[in-house]
Amino acid sequence: MASPHLLTPLIDLVFPPRCPLCGDAVAEQGGLCAACWQTLPAPGEPACALCQRPMPDTVTPGEGAICAPCMKEPPRHDGIAAATLYAESSRKLVLALKHGRKLALATLLGRIMASRMPPLDGDWLVVPVPLHRWRIWRRGFNQSDLLAEHIARARGAVLAVDALQRHRATPSLGGLSRRERAVALKGAIVANARWRERLRGARVLLVDDVMTSGATTDACVTALRKIGVGQVRIACFARVIDEVLPPA
C-alpha cells in the first residue's frame, strides 16, 4: 500500500490546498494562510494560573498569580490551556468541524491545541468531553473525540475516549445562564465503570472544542473528582473570555 505522503502531490493536484477560512491558496493541506493565522487570538500573559483570566500588567507573567474570582471560589480543576480565544475566526473553524462535517479540520485544531499546551510531565490520560449517544447518532461523531485523539498522539499520552459518559440527554445550552447550564448538566455525566480503576489517582487532560461558561467541563471534573482522579487539566481550542473579546 502506498504511503500517504507519496500520494500528497496527487492529492494537491486534484484538490489544491486552500485556507479553510478565506479560501486562498496555502502551502499544504490543512493549513491556514498567514493573514488568517493572525486573526486567531491567543490568550495573553499575564493571566490567572488557574483560569487564564487576564491579570493586571503589574503581575509578572508565569509567577502563578491567581485572580480574585478563583481565590473566592477555587475551581476543582488544575488549570486551563486554551489554544485561542473565541473570536470570529475560531468560531468559523469550530462550526465548520462540528456542523459543516469538515473532519479534516480536527487535525489542524488538534495540532494548534497541542502546540500551545504546557508540558505534560509523567503519565496522562486524555479524556474528551462526552456527547450523549443520540447526539452522536445524529451528528455521526464527537468533535472532542477527534481533538483528543490528535493531542494524545502528539503528546504520547493514553487516549481514554470513553472514560466519561453522558448517560442522560441534555438540552442545548445556548442562551442559558451559567446556573441554568449547571442545573441542566447535574448528574448527566459520569465515569465509565470500565475506566474507574485506571482513573483513580490518575492525571487527566480533559479535552473540549469550546469552553464558554465552563458548566460542561465543571460537570466532567465533578465526575472525575468523585472517583478520585489525582489531577485534572482542561484543554480547549477556543475559550470565551468576555474581559478580552466579546463572544462572536
Instruction: Spell out the domains of the chain, with CATH numbers in brackets.
Output: 1-38 (no CATH), 42-239 (3.40.50.2020)
pLDDT of residue 9: 43
Distance CA 122, CA 138 (A): 37
Integer CA distances (angstroms), 219 to 77, 205, 227, in order: 11, 14, 13
In the 8-state DSSP scheme, what is residue 13?
A: H
What pLDDT does 51 receive?
A: 86
pLDDT of res. 245: 60
Supply the pTM of this predicted model.
0.88
Give the three-class secondary structure for 135.
helix
Alpha-carbon distance 109 to 90, whole Å? 9
The Cα 91–Cα 106 span in angstroms is: 14
- pLDDT tens string for the chain (248 positions)? 444 454 444 444 445 788 889 988 876 767 889 999 999 988 888 888 888 888 877 777 666 788 888 899 899 999 999 999 999 999 999 999 998 888 989 999 999 999 988 888 889 999 999 999 988 998 999 999 999 999 999 999 999 999 999 998 887 777 777 788 888 888 899 999 999 999 999 999 999 999 988 899 999 999 999 999 999 999 999 999 876 665 55
Q: How far apart are CA 149 and CA 237, in angstroms?
A: 14
At 162, give phi and psi (nearest 5°). Answer: -115, 25
> Quick one: which of 182, 158, 159 has its CA closest to 170?
182
| Cα separation, 235 vs 209, whole angstroms | 8
